[in-house]
Amino acid sequence: MLFVGINPGVQSALTGHHFAGPSNRFWKLLSESRLVPEPITYVDDDRLTEWGYGITNIVARPTPGINDLRPVEYAEGARVLLEKVERYQPAVVALVGVTVFRALLEALGEDRPRTRPVELGFQKEMAGAKIFVLPNPSGRNANFSYAEMLAAFQLLKRSTLPNRQRKK
């Protein structure tokens, strides 16, 4: 599985680790949903490969907020992301935020993706990978409660477990 964020925030740029902002709940959600078997934080982001996960951003440039990003950066980032997906062939691409999904749709030429309603969960496949939209866990995201975020991360876990590991 490949997790895809929007872009590094200031704290992530300073520390060199993904989702490092003090109000970002990504790592807590990974732990509480049991997508990882033990509590980890941003300093452990290099350990994600132990559990078969990768992590990247759609835009590499750090900014204080997503309002500082330009549409051309999303378009170029989406192109690069699709190349990564084709190269590494993850079974699932977990987009961390509706904004990431809309940027991909726009890069693929979908009409009016910025106004299209998006539900969390699985979407159409892209480049041979299942696409799963998660809520953005940033403390700035007021669109989803923590309970809704956790439910989405838990659904991702349940939906991607190999059959032999699922509870009967």
**Mind telling me the catalytic residues?**
7, 18
Burial of 107 (0-12, 13-18, 19+ CB in 10 A): buried
Q: What's the one-letter identity of residue 98?
A: V
Q: Please give, one letter per residue, the 3-state secondary structure of 31-59.
A: HHCCCCCCCCCHHHHHHHHHHCCEEEECC
* Residue 126, helix vs strand vs coil: strand
Find where tokens 């590094």 sit: 8
Length in residues, the chain: 168
CA–CA distance, 167 with 75 (Å, rounded to integer): 40
Q: Under a CB-based contact definition with an 8 Å cutoff, are residues 21 and 34 in contact?
A: no
Q: Under a CB-based contact definition with an 8 Å cutoff, are residues 159 and 122 in contact?
A: yes
Return the structure tokens found at 5: 């964020």
